Structure 1
Amino acid sequence: MKKVEIVGGGIAGLALAGTLDPSQFHVTVYEQRAGLPAVGTTLAMWPEAQEALASLGILGAVRENSPVIRGGALRSAIGVPWLSVEGQNLVGAARHTLLRLLDSAVPSTVQRRIEKLDAVPSDAHLIVAADGVHSMVRRSVWGQSRAAKLTPYLAVRGVIAEEPDSETVGEYWGRGDLFGIGPSSGGTNWYASFRSGMGPEGIDVGEALAVTRRRYAGHSQGIQHVLRVATPETSLAQRIWTTPPLRRYSRGNVVLIGDAAHAMAPNLGRGACESLIDAVALGKLVNTLPLDQALDAYNRQRVLRTQQYRIGSSLMMRVALAEGAQPMRDKLLDLAAKRKSAVNRKPKAPGGSKTSQ
């Protein structure tokens, strides 16, 4: 039995523990959190992430406990719709529900240790860093220059018990801020981002919520209603961190997965999905190939893709949270909305195609 040490028992760590073959590996998961979180906002599960959940045997349970995301609209700060976005068979899984179901997929042979490690384990066939954006393993093995980088933005998010009005669902872009409203299991999921000097550690959620209410006081009535109903007990507040690029996610027998490898801005909604895909891909490769070949294949499969998403999410964050360029951005979106409306109003030819001008 070969020893595999997984540092971190979040989404990526649990998914990997549930994928590794218990007949080949003695797996230990180190997690500093004693239990699963009670508060968690909704994570959009894209089709490839759903395939990873299916391979773990929990996709059905995730779907049973999660709403389908059918789309929404990109809107101005006051709620004027610019562009409609159709759903792509996305499932909105609450983070705490997803963690609970991933936990249920972990074999009973996996050893759990509630412990915060200060050093990288050394006596193992494979050491996996699934310890998030502030990964101790990443800093220790790749160096302090590859540690997480703080952005100037605060993320405040939460859930409320009311179902969302279909006319308010979507993402709102203002001057230097954004706000999102979408479905959650039994209610509404919401999130806000804007520039802030709060934190970066130990942010008081009640204070962050009060700051958010003041920030969005002039925004749409739908946003203001959500923030009036929101409570600190069902909300979270964190500064947004990202990680610098890496050309390879493994060194020797140490490998990075999830946010430890490619923590990205939340603007594309891909972070949790890519963590799941990382974990299942790595587990399947390690189950079937010698370790060096498995890690080479993992790097080929995952580095380019996830680094593209990391760059794309950063660019999208800059556009969505634009300040000086916000008027030009809004004019371009207004023009796009008018053009789309004009195309949709064109009369159709008898065969069903639109007439040409």
Structure 2
Amino acid sequence: METVSIVGGGIAGLALAACLEPDRFEVTVYEKRPELPMVGTVLAMWPNAQRALARVGILGQARAVSPVLGSGSIRNAAGEPWATVNGGELFGMSRVDLLRLLDSAVPAAVRRVAVHLQALPDDHGLVVGADGVHSMVRREVWGAGTNARVQSCIAVRGTIPAPVNPEEVGEYWGRGDLFGIAASPGGTNWYASWRSDLGPTGIDVAQALDQARLRFAGHAPAIRQVLAAAVPELSLAQRIWTTPPLRSYVRGTAVLVGDAAHAMTPNLGRGACESLVDAVTLADLLNSLPQDKALAAYNRQRRLRTRALSLASAAMMRVALAERAQPLRDGLLNLARRRNERAGVASGAGR
């Protein structure tokens, strides 16, 4: 039996534990939380994440508890749409439901240890850092120079029980801020981001909600209605942190997955998806190859892909949260909208 120590029992850690062959690996998951969280926002499940959920064996259950997101629009702060995006079969899954289903897929043979590790486990096997953006494994093995970097923006997210209005779904871009509205199981999911001096840690959620209501007071009525209904018990607030680019996700007998490897800004909605893909990719390679070859293949397959997504997400954040360039951004998007409208009219007239 080969020993695998997974530090972190979140999305990546549980998915990895669920997919490693129990007859080959002796797996231990170290997780500081004694229980699964009870509050969480909605995560968009892109096609690659859906394939990963199928590999874990929970795609059908995930779809059953998650609404299809459908189409949504990129809008200005007043709510006027610039462009509409068709989400196809994209569905939105509660983080709480995702963790619950992943947890249920972990074999009984996997050992669970509820502890906040401050140093690497001494199990003398493969150590997997699945412990998030502030990864202890990354710090201990890759060095303090790889510590997470705090961004200037705050992310406040939550759900409200009122059903979503399909005419209001989308992302609203203002001057230095953005607000999103989407469907969630049993209600509406929302998220907001702007530059804030709150934090960087221990942010009071009620204070963040008060700041959001002031920040978005002049925005679209849909935003104001959502924030009026938001309560701290169903909301989360934190500063955005990212990881610096790493030359490799593998060092010796340690490997990083998920946010420990590539925490990115949330603007593309790909963080949780890529964590799932990391986990199933690493598991399948370890199940089929010697460890050194599996780790090398994992690094080749995942590092450049996730780095590209991190760069794209950061670029999207700069556009969405533009301040001085906001008039130029809005002008270009208005021009693109008018051109599309004229093209649609011309196309209809030519039929």
User: Which TM-score bucket, shorter chain as reference?
Assistant: over 0.9
Does residue 219 of structure 1 match 2:223?
no
The DSSP-based 3-state class of the residue aligned with 2:23 is coil
Q: Distance in 2 between matches of 1:339 and 1:39?
A: 43
In structure 2, the CA distance between the partners of 1:204 and 1:348, relative to structure 1 (3 Å rule), is: closer
The residue type paired with residue 14 of structure 1 is L
Q: Distance in 1 between matches of 2:107 and 2:94?
A: 23
* Aligned counterpart, 2:85: 85
The alpha carbon displacement at 1:122 in A equals 3.4
* Aligned counterpart, 1:316: 316
The residue type paired with residue 42 of structure 2 is T
Query: Would you say the 8 A contact 1:36–1:96 is kept in 2?
Result: yes
Does residue 96 of structure 1 match 2:96?
yes
The residue type paired with residue 152 of structure 1 is S
What root-mean-square deviation, in Å, do the aligned CA atoms of Structure 1 and Structure 2 show?
A: 0.9
Q: Distance in 1 between matches of 2:7 and 2:208?
A: 30
The alpha carbon displacement at 1:167 in A equals 1.2
Does residue 200 of structure 1 match 2:200?
yes
The DSSP-based 3-state class of the residue aligned with 2:138 is helix
The alpha carbon displacement at 1:123 in A equals 2.7
* Aligned counterpart, 2:155: 155
The alpha carbon displacement at 1:125 in A equals 2.2
Does residue 326 of structure 1 match 2:329?
no
The residue type paired with residue 289 of structure 1 is L
Once the two structures are superposed, what CA deviation does each residue of 1:163-212 show, in whole Å capped at 9, x if it has no partner? 11111100000000000000000100000000001011111101110100
Identity of aligned residues (%): 61
* Aligned counterpart, 1:268: 268
The residue type paired with residue 276 of structure 2 is L
* Aligned counterpart, 1:338: 338
Q: Distance in 1 between matches of 2:139 and 2:288?
A: 29
* Aligned counterpart, 1:282: 282
The DSSP-based 3-state class of the residue aligned with 2:87 is strand
The residue type paired with residue 59 of structure 1 is L
* Aligned counterpart, 2:50: 50
Query: Would you say the 8 A contact 1:2–1:124 is kept in 2?
Result: no
The DSSP-based 3-state class of the residue aligned with 2:175 is coil
Query: Would you say the 8 A contact 1:163–1:183 is kept in 2?
Result: yes
Within a 5 Å distance, the mapping from 1:137-216 to structure 2 comes to 137-216=137-216
The residue type paired with residue 271 of structure 2 is G
The DSSP-based 3-state class of the residue aligned with 1:88 is coil
Q: Which structure 2 residue ranges, 5 or more long, are not aligned?
A: none
* Aligned counterpart, 1:7: 7
* Aligned counterpart, 1:355: none
* Aligned counterpart, 1:253: 253
The alpha carbon displacement at 1:88 in A equals 3.1
The alpha carbon displacement at 1:349 in A equals 6.9
* Aligned counterpart, 1:64: 64
Q: Distance in 2 between matches of 1:98 and 1:123?
A: 29
The residue type paired with residue 221 of structure 1 is P
Segments of 4+ moved more than 2 angstroms: 122-125, 347-350
The alpha carbon displacement at 1:145 in A equals 1.0
Q: Distance in 2 between matches of 1:316 and 1:74?
A: 12
Once the two structures are superposed, what CA deviation does each residue of 1:64-107 show, in whole Å capped at 9, x if it has no partner? 00001112000000101101111131110000000000000000
The alpha carbon displacement at 1:127 in A equals 0.5
The alpha carbon displacement at 1:327 in A equals 0.5
Within a 5 Å distance, the mapping from 1:104-123 to structure 2 comes to 104-123=104-123
Q: Distance in 1 between matches of 2:89 and 2:248?
A: 32
